[in-house]
Amino acid sequence: MKCAAVVLAAGRGRRMNLDTAKQFIKIKGFPLLYYSLKAFQESFIDEIVLVVSKNETDYCREEIVDKYGFDKVSVITEGGKERYHSVACGLRVLRPDTDYVFIHDSARPNIREEILKRTFDTVVRYGSAIVSVPVKDTIKTADDEGFVTGTPPRSSVYIIQTPQAFEYQAIKKAYEALLQKEDELTAQGVRITDDAMVMERFGDKRVKLCEGSYTNIKVTTPEDIELIKLYL
Ligand code: CTP
Ligand code: MG
């Protein structure tokens, strides 16, 4: 069984408000991206594809991949404008005999072996596995003017994290279909924010949740820095 990871590091980290893209900021002496690569390197994953911004390929190879000996990284490729473009770039370079692909945001550095194992067990059993935790707060939906339009029952709402794992051919096909329909979706104002959405809309597999962790946070805004230092 062949498992690959697509690690996304082609964003700009605008909500972080720093000059450096967040995947390269130093946390406890290492760039943020180091932690996800290390987790996959030390796991059962056979191959890692790293997706980075234009002109950052050499930097990532020299200063991260080679420097820390991440020899499971087989390809460092350039991403695109939106996250889903970057995922599509990563999926395209994987070998056709890949069985399962784990798509992961490098902005989530605190992934542990037990999460990867649970994701693996779930994807083998159901064909998909997205890491999630139950919401602790009450969730409301609201309209553009800030008036509440509904309250989904708390037991039916989850916070979705990464990794998100799928059968490789199935998610690849779903992404190709998404790219065909991209203009239509943009016109409808639909924003694709995770991989499961692509499977839900364009794939032929149901998406299965599996248990993540409340400490598997995505470093997104400045206050996340102190938290992630604590968790790591
Ligand atoms: N990502 C990517 N390619 C893009 C956009 C995002 O590879 N075109 C990656 C980011 O590097 C990050 C992950 O997708 O690891 C999750 O995205 P997000 O947290 O939104 O990161 P950024 O897009 O970098 O941040 P922001 O939205 O604040 O600009
Ligand atoms: Mg973003």
pLDDT, tens only, 67-90: 999 999 999 999 999 999 999 999
Q: What pLDDT is recorded for position 62?
A: 97
Rounded CA gap, 108 and 110, in Å?
6
Q: What is the pLDDT of residues 157-184, one digit of tens each?
A: 999 999 999 999 999 999 999 999 999 9
The closest ligand to the CA of 103 turns out to be: 1
Q: What is the pLDDT of residues 42-63, one digit of tens each?
A: 999 999 999 999 999 999 999 9
Alpha carbons within 13 angstroms on the beta-carbon side of residue 173 total: 10
What tokens appear for 228 in the block? 């992630």
Rounded CA gap, 42 and 189, in Å?
40
Q: Closest ligand 1 atom to the C-alpha of 81?
A: 8
Residue 181 DSSP code: T
Rounded CA gap, 155 and 92, in Å?
37
Hey, how many other C-beta atoms are within 10 angstroms of the C-beta on 34?
24
64: amino acid identity, one letter: I
Q: What is the distance in A from the centroid of ligand 2 to the CA of 24?
A: 15
20: amino acid identity, one letter: T
Report the pLDDT averaged over residues 91-100: 97
User: What's the full length of the chain, in residues?
Assistant: 232
Q: How confident is the prediction for the chain on average, in pLDDT?
A: 97
Q: What is the distance in A from the centroid of ligand 1 to the CA of 83?
A: 6
Hey, how many other C-beta atoms are within 10 angstroms of the C-beta on 38?
16
